[in-house]
A and B are shown apart, each in its own frame.
Chain A
Amino acid sequence: MIAWITVLLACQLAGEGTALLLGLPVPGPVIGMVLLFIGLSVRGGVPEGLRDAAGGLLRHLSLLFVPAGAGVAAHVARLEGEALPIAAALVLSTLAALLATGWVMRILGGRSES
């Protein structure tokens, strides 16, 4: 377990380093994801332990957004003052984006086996 968490952290660290070094606008962890993906492709499979470690983190992905979400507390005044335009714009544009993406996928994506 610890070995595989080390692998995840090492990929992230390499990703952060690459982003800084090359001045890329992409976050380090996203580059780390690409690096791990390349590693898995070269190896030709996912090791059992890595599957467990990644699964453990991803099963509770929701939890990891809670601290940033509570940041609403720091912006209460502005959010209260502009609550209606903010809420309406967020809800409507998010629903429109969901449908636009989903429809294009359904029309152009062909059959999917699930």
Chain B
Amino acid sequence: MSTASLHDVWVYLAASPLTGLTATLVAYQAGTWLSARCGGHPLANPVLVAVVLLVAGLAASGIDYRTYFAGAQFVHFLLGPATVALAVPLYSQIRAIRRAAGAMTAALLAGAVTSAVGVVVLGRALGASEQTVLSLAPKSATTPIAMGVAERIGGLPSLTAVFVILTGIIGATLGGWALRLGGVRAARDVGFALGTAAGGIGTARAFQHSETAGAFSGLAMGLCGLATAVLVPLLNGVMW
């Protein structure tokens, strides 16, 4: 039996799901390592670092995203059970949540409308194409809802998924700083704002802050998804 050449091994491994899965975990480890090295500095966000490393790695190796995702989907799949698991911190915080229910409804509407109207008006004013603008509109909702909304109003669902992640990374990296500057400090308020404006990645960031912030963020993420599903198609008919 002859041994395979290095090239044959590479061709085989590049197409194997194991490579995409391992690369995802390695990139994330690098992200958490860098984040710890930088004392948890928001710009060293683990998701941001991992995404940058993976995109560079895919470009350098010539592996296309679909081949990569065949392996990475095993990690992606866990988003479902993790969303279900948000019921646990939610339940632990239910008394604080009940107390602030009225404020949360108003805050959610303020955030969801500001996000959707803001991104569309700015995108148009700065000269983005119409399809990009329509793909941007639902960017504060959680990915599956955002993709559904984009499809309904004429955007590109896969592009919207990218915008949701970019929004999450922006919120997670700049959010704590912006809220502090704006005088918003209570864990409850910071968490709720992160979940509304920056979805799941904002929620991951809020859990680093405290369990209270994480619970409010997870709740806000779910509610913002619902608000976006109703509001964006409505706004789309009325104002743009």
Q: Which A residues fall within an 8 A CB radius of B?
A: 5, 8-9, 11-12, 15, 25-30, 32-34, 36-37, 40-41, 46, 50-51, 53-55, 57-59, 61-76, 78-79, 82, 84-86, 88-110, 112-114
Q: A29-B84, A36-B87, A71-B161 are in contact. List 19 more A-B contacts (CB 8 A).
A: A25-B148, A27-B145, A37-B87, A57-B82, A62-B45, A65-B168, A67-B72, A72-B162, A72-B166, A73-B59, A90-B163, A93-B118, A100-B110, A101-B196, A102-B184, A102-B190, A103-B182, A103-B184, A114-B188
Bound-complex Cα distance A39 to B217 (A): 21
A57 to chain B, nearest CB (A): 4
From known contacts A41-B91, A97-B118, infer whether A15 and B84 are also in contact, taking CB-CB under 8 Å. Answer: yes
Partner of A26, one of B65, B143, B229: B229
Question: Cβ of B123 and Cβ of A86 under 8 Å apart?
Answer: yes
Mark each residue of chain B from 113 to 137: 1 if its CB lies under 8 Å from any CB of chain A, else 0.
Answer: 0110011001100111100100010
- A to B CB contacts below 8 Å, 14 in the list: A12-B81, A26-B145, A33-B90, A63-B46, A64-B79, A66-B51, A67-B75, A69-B50, A70-B68, A72-B51, A73-B54, A74-B66, A98-B193, A108-B106
Bound-complex Cα distance A28 to B80 (A): 8
A24 to chain B, nearest CB (A): 10
Question: Cβ of B122 and Cβ of A88 under 8 Å apart?
Answer: yes
Bound-complex Cα distance A79 to B161 (A): 13
Question: Cβ of B132 and Cβ of A86 under 8 Å apart?
Answer: yes
Report, nearest first, the 3 A-B pairs whose CB atoms are least far apart: A93-B118, A101-B111, A67-B72
Q: Which B residues fall within an 8 A CB radius of A?
A: 24-25, 27-28, 31, 45-47, 50-51, 54-55, 58-59, 64-66, 68-69, 72-73, 75-76, 78-92, 94, 96, 99-100, 102-104, 106-108, 110-112, 114-115, 118-119, 122-123, 126-129, 132, 136, 139-140, 142-145, 148, 158-159, 161-171, 174-175, 178-179, 182-184, 186-190, 192-194, 196-198, 200-201, 203-205, 207, 210, 212, 214, 220, 222, 225-226, 229
Question: Cβ of A33 and Cβ of B178 under 8 Å apart?
Answer: no
A108 to chain B, nearest CB (A): 4
Question: Cβ of B119 and Cβ of A62 under 8 Å apart?
Answer: no
Question: Cβ of A100 and Cβ of B114 under 8 Å apart?
Answer: yes
Question: Cβ of B84 and Cβ of A32 under 8 Å apart?
Answer: yes
Question: Cβ of B171 and Cβ of A98 under 8 Å apart?
Answer: yes
Question: Cβ of A92 and Cβ of B168 under 8 Å apart?
Answer: no
Residue of A nearest to B192 (CB): A105
Question: Cβ of A105 and Cβ of B88 under 8 Å apart?
Answer: no
Chain A residues closer than 8 Å to B75, beta-carbon distance: 63-64, 66-67
Residue of A nearest to B152 (CB): A25
Bound-complex Cα distance A102 to B107 (A): 7
Partner of A58, one of B51, B58, B86, B188: B86
Question: Cβ of B178 and Cβ of A99 under 8 Å apart?
Answer: yes
Partner of A98, one of B24, B122, B197: B197
Bound-complex Cα distance A12 to B151 (A): 24
From known contacts A33-B222, A54-B88, A82-B129, infer whether A102 and B83 are also in contact, taking CB-CB under 8 Å. Answer: no
Partner of A85, one of B68, B126, B189: B126
Question: Cβ of B165 and Cβ of A65 under 8 Å apart?
Answer: yes
Residue of B nearest to A98 (CB): B197
Partner of A25, one of B145, B169, B200: B145
